[in-house]
Amino acid sequence: MTALWTSEAIAKAIGGVASESFAATGVAFDSREIGAGDLFVAMPGEVTDGHRFIEGAFAHGASGAIVSQPVAHPHILVADTAAVLDALGVASRRRTAAKIAGVTGSVGKTGTKEALAAALGRWPDTKVHKSVKSYNNHTGVPLSLSRMAADSDFAVFEMGMNHAGELSGLTRMVRPHVAIVTAIAPAHIEFFASEAAIADAKAEIFQGIEPGGTAIIPFDSPHRDRLVGHARELGVHVVTFGMGTGADVHAREAMPTAGGTLITATLPDAELCFTVGQVGDHWVSNALAVIAAVQALGGDLAAAGLALAELEGLAGRGARKTIRAGSGTALLIDESYNANAASMVATLAVLGRQTATRRIAVLGEMRELGTESERLHAAIAEPLLAANVDFALLVGPGMVALAKALEGRVEFRHVPDAAAARDLIESVIAPGDAILVKGSNGVGLSTLVDALGAA
């Protein structure tokens, strides 16, 4: 493989001293993720120190390490490894001519990031780099930057936050040419005075946009004008997307199909008809944001349309699988990675459109909602009933409010945790069922998904 970094380039980027020459084809700070040829960054942690795992990293094939104390392997020595990942990420961004997109929002970040990367990379021989998984925080973003090849044509970075001021630093590191805000919802509302304050924090992504860059903003959001105002204060060009006809990029028609939605999108100077291979109105919105970004980045719109048609669901974010259920099979919709009020409503609507003998919703509590928790959980009752759910399995103490709101209206069970849900679910499902599993990641419903998939 072509070297991603040489020891000389690493040493220059982070102000360290190389013990010897070596080359790295990847970067990781978790020794469990090390592959052959990777650079291991021995970072200090809250619980343990990365230097304890040096031997394990080299046993797994590391070509070199960044350390603050000499080791008996090829390494770059620095005074403190805590800040080297940021320095390496900044150096990586500085050396590339790639067109960069940043994606943030309360919901839909990872799916939009994946869809945009696929859309930009659908044209042959185009090199697209992207954040892996949901590496979108103060360590995930510089790690993703440091993994970017210098000759990339495009790169797409997911950026998240749960406090004001976090995105400001991340976006100045990424320096995107295009910044997308997918949607604003009361995720992490525990740490903010209002949803408007969340919008202000998301708008920080515009602070790092390169001169001449573009902010892509949801037209249908109640916080649209607030977001637009932040972008224009910084002199950033604005493109809006959404279902409303006033949006710069809008869906003139959106017709559900068996496996997605056929969309006719109107752009400022073009019209594009394409299919998005994921179900739900939220995916129509995501697709419009992607199309807007592809055009702003100078990508190929026709190729982007083909890529969107080929989209598959991500594990924990809409992946669909057929599972065994008694003497037959059932459909499992895996949305177990995360949840907030907006994404709960969107995915329940998807379940409601699904043809099935019965519709079952396994819903884990939504976290980081603070004083709004009881109200937001109770509010899930109406969209759940509108989706014609036949049985709801509610998981976690935060679901008490929803349980009260559902009493006498639909069959349900309320259990304390994911382990109890796993014990119960296999006795509930039957052939022909459609089962939606969704909850905050900390609830651990991915273990239930794994158990059902293995049954």
- For the segment 429-445, what is each residue's pLDDT rounded down to a tens digit? 999 999 999 999 999 99
What does the pLDDT read at residue 424?
Answer: 96
The CB-based long-range contact list for 223-232 (8 Å cut-off, 24+ gap) reads 223/184, 223/195, 223/196, 223/199, 226/196, 226/199, 226/200, 227/181, 227/184, 227/199, 227/202, 227/203, 230/200, 230/203, 230/206, 231/203, 231/206
314 within some domain? no
What does the pLDDT read at residue 47?
Answer: 79
Give the integer Cα–Cα distance in Å for 49 and 15.
21
What does the pLDDT read at residue 455?
Answer: 57
Same domain, 144 and 184: yes
Same domain, 218 and 351: no
- Using 50, 70 and 90 to split pLDDT, how confident is the model at 2? confident
Same domain, 223 and 358: no
Same domain, 381 and 328: yes
What does the pLDDT read at residue 396?
Answer: 97
pLDDT, tens digit (0-9, with 9 covering 90-100), for 348-378: 999 999 999 999 999 999 999 999 999 999 9
Domain boundary among 270, 288, 309: 309
136 within some domain? yes
What does the pLDDT read at residue 189?
Answer: 87
Q: Which of 344, 337, 298, 293 is nearest to 319 (CA)?
A: 337
- Using 50, 70 and 90 to split pLDDT, how confident is the model at 12? very high
pLDDT, tens digit (0-9, with 9 covering 90-100), for 282-324: 999 999 999 999 999 999 999 999 999 999 888 888 899 999 9
Same domain, 278 and 188: yes
Same domain, 266 and 343: no
Q: What value does the mean pLDDT of the chain take?
A: 95
Task: Kindly tell me if the per-residue pLDDT of 45 is higher than 90.
Answer: no
**Residue, of 190 and 130, whose pLDDT is higher:** 130
Same domain, 224 and 288: yes
> Looking at the 3D structure of the chain, how many domains does it have?
3
Contact 180, 103 (CB under 8 A): yes
Give the integer Cα–Cα distance in Å for 396 and 439.
10
What does the pLDDT read at residue 393?
Answer: 98
DSSP E strands, 268-358: 270-276, 319-325, 328-335
- Which residues span the domain enclosing 38? 5-81
What does the pLDDT read at residue 1?
Answer: 66
Give the integer Cα–Cα distance in Å for 339 and 346.
10
172 within some domain? yes
188 within some domain? yes
Same domain, 276 and 165: yes
Same domain, 77 and 203: no
- CA-angle at 429, arms to 423 and 435, nearest 5°: 100
Same domain, 22 and 144: no
What does the pLDDT read at residue 293?
Answer: 98
Same domain, 297 and 405: no
What residues contact residue 22 under an 8 Å CB cut-off, 6+ apart? 6, 7, 63, 64, 74
Give the integer Cα–Cα distance in Å for 111 and 340.
15
88 within some domain? no
pLDDT, tens digit (0-9, with 9 covering 90-100), for 82-136: 999 999 999 999 999 999 999 999 999 999 999 999 999 998 899 999 998 778 9
382 within some domain? yes
65 within some domain? yes
Contact 349, 430 (CB under 8 A): no
Structure pTM?
A: 0.90
Q: CATH number, domain at 393?
A: 3.90.190.20
Q: CATH number, domain at 49?
A: 3.40.1390.10
Contact 399, 379 (CB under 8 A): no
285 within some domain? yes
Give the integer Cα–Cα distance in Å for 365 and 397.
7
pLDDT, tens digit (0-9, with 9 covering 90-100), for 393-406: 999 999 999 999 99
Over range 52-75, report the average pLDDT.
Answer: 96
Task: Kindly tell me if the per-residue pLDDT of 454 is higher than 80.
Answer: no
Same domain, 76 and 101: no
Q: CATH number, domain at 185?
A: 3.40.1190.10
What does the pLDDT read at residue 244?
Answer: 82
Domain boundary among 274, 309, 344: 309
Give the integer Cα–Cα distance in Å for 308 and 300.
12
Domain boundary among 50, 81, 112: 81
